[in-house]
């Protein structure tokens, strides 16, 4: 039966056009509602017709199976930015994240300058609690605006209710799939100094640097990210990735001590709320993986070992097999189970279970 949708819809759109990895089969339908009213109308329609819905931003943190997704892909389009005064900005979730960072820096609002160059849309920021170079969005987030996908209710969640942790929030955990994030409000610091906590930033800026300007820090962060191919660039095949494929693991201090003793060389480690945060990239390299590794049409970035790349024409399954090999090697040699950061869509099993099963079959 041909469905008559309440707004314009595309059919059979390859996910290779919708994600930065450039892999994945077709989405049955794709719609781009302009605001929360059209989004609610579409969600109601899909619910009435038992049509699964997946919310997609820029697709910069996605791995979609080769069979695609037999449902509706909703790409929310509200890109408005409002200045609320006293350092507060409200941004629609369909806007490009880095454009919001650039605006904040240009207007002298401190708090997200180190999050420059992170690919994706504004709506993904609170879901993932994006972070880089010593900053997390949770530090400046005032509230999240969302649409309950079941009831259609509009809800505002104060930061304290969002369950933020390292690369985590309730939107990614207990509330996964329940809400469409439609916007957020940031509380930034007018005239504030840039944040320079990250060792690499301090080193490049010079240990004696003080009162650093926001534009200076933003530019340096962008340069570092480009050097690692972590800024999406069509001219750079190493950026055909989902960014960092594995989360930096947080382990108990005793476990970190065990790993350091096993390896027998200095190991990067950072204090974390629940223990010690380790470098997933360092663990991979210590386990024997290197930049530029090639496995068929998939591989590891030549500039950043943590990024799995589509070298051209790769399938999603090739990337799954590479991820499974990496995860198995690190676990066997160092006793650390790496957790994938991208969202897996359309696969028959959850990501960790899938990777373990594939690793056993290799």
Q: What is the pLDDT of residues 247-306, one digit of tens each?
A: 999 999 999 999 999 999 999 999 888 899 999 999 999 999 999 999 999 999 999 999
Residue 196's pLDDT band, with cuts at 50, 70 and 90, is confident
Q: Cβ atoms within 10 A of the Cβ of 99, count? A: 14
Average pLDDT, the chain: 94
Closest CA to 339 of 220, 243, 242, 249: 249
Rounded Cα distance, 101 and 247, in Å: 23
pLDDT surpasses 70 at 207: no
Residues 193 and 110 sit within 8 Å (Cβ to Cβ): yes
The CA-atom distances, in angstroms, between 18 and each of 101, 108, 183 are 23, 33, 21
Is 172 in contact with 164 (CB distance < 8 Å)? no
In the chain, residues under CATH classification 3.90.78.10 are: 237-361
Residue 285: which of 272, 298, 301, 309 has the closest Cα? 301
Reported as a single tens digit per residue, the pLDDT across 330-345 is 999 999 999 999 999 9
Instruction: Say what the pLDDT of residue 233 is.
Output: 84
Residue among 317, 314, 328 at smallest CA distance from 356: 328
**Residue 212: pLDDT over 90:** no
CATH 3.30.43.10 maps onto the chain at: 9-74
**Domain 81-227 falls in which CATH fold?**
3.30.465
Q: Region 141-162: what's the mean pLDDT?
A: 97
Give catalytic residue positions. Answer: 167, 244, 341
Listed in order, the ranges of the chain carrying CATH 3.30.465.10 are 81-227
- Region 152-164 average pLDDT: 97
Closest CA to 274 of 249, 294, 241: 249
- Look at residue 199 and tell me whether its pLDDT is greater than 90: no
Which of the two residues, 307 and 195, has the higher pLDDT score? 307
Q: Which fold has domain 9-74?
A: 3.30.43
Q: Does 237 have pLDDT greater than 60?
A: yes
pLDDT surpassing 90 at residue 64: yes
Q: Which CATH number fits the domain 237-361, given the four candidates 3.90.78.10, 3.40.720.10, 1.10.760.10, 3.40.47.10?
A: 3.90.78.10
């Amino acid at each position: 039966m041909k469905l008559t949708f309440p707004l314009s819809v595309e059919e059979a759109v390859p996910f290779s056009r919708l994600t930065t990895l450039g892999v994945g089969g077709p989405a049955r339908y794709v719609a781009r509602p302009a605001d929360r009213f059209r989004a609610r109308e579409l969600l109601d329609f899909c619910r009435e017709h038992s049509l699964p819905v997946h919310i997609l931003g820029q697709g910069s943190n996605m791995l979609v199976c080769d069979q695609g997704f037999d449902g509706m892909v909703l790409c929310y389009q509200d890109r408005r930015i409002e200045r609320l005064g006293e350092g507060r900005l409200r941004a629609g979730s369909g806007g490009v994240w880095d454009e919001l960072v650039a605006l904040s820096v240009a207007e002298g609002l401190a708090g997200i300058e180190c999050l420059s160059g992170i690919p994706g849309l504004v709506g993904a920021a609170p879901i993932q609690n994006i972070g880089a170079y010593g900053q997390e969005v949770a530090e400046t987030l005032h509230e999240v605006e969302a649409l309950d996908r079941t009831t259609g209710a509009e809800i505002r969640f104060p930061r304290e209710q969002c369950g933020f942790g390292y690369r985590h929030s309730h939107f990614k955990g207990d509330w996964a799939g329940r809400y469409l994030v439609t916007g957020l409000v940031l509380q930034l610091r007018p005239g504030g100094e840039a944040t320079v906590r990250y060792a690499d930033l301090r080193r490049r800026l010079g240990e004696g640097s003080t009162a650093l300007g926001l534009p200076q820090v933003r530019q340096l962060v962008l340069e570092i990210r480009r050097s690692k191919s972590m800024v999406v660039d069509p001219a750079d095949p190493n950026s055909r990735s989902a960014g960092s494929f594995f989360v930096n693991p947080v382990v108990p201090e005793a476990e970190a001590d065990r790993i350091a003793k096993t390896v027998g060389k200095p190991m990067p480690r950072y204090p974390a709320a629940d223990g010690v945060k380790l470098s997933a990239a360092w663990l991979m390299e210590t386990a024997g993986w290197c930049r530029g590794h090639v496995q068929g049409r998939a591989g590891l970035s030549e500039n950043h070992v943590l990024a799995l790349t589509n070298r051209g024409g790769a399938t999603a399954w090739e990337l799954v097999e590479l991820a499974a090999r990496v995860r198995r090697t690190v676990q066997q040699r160092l006793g650390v189970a790496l957790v994938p950061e991208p969202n897996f869509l359309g696969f028959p099993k959850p990501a960790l279970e899938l990777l373990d099963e594939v690793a056993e079959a290799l």
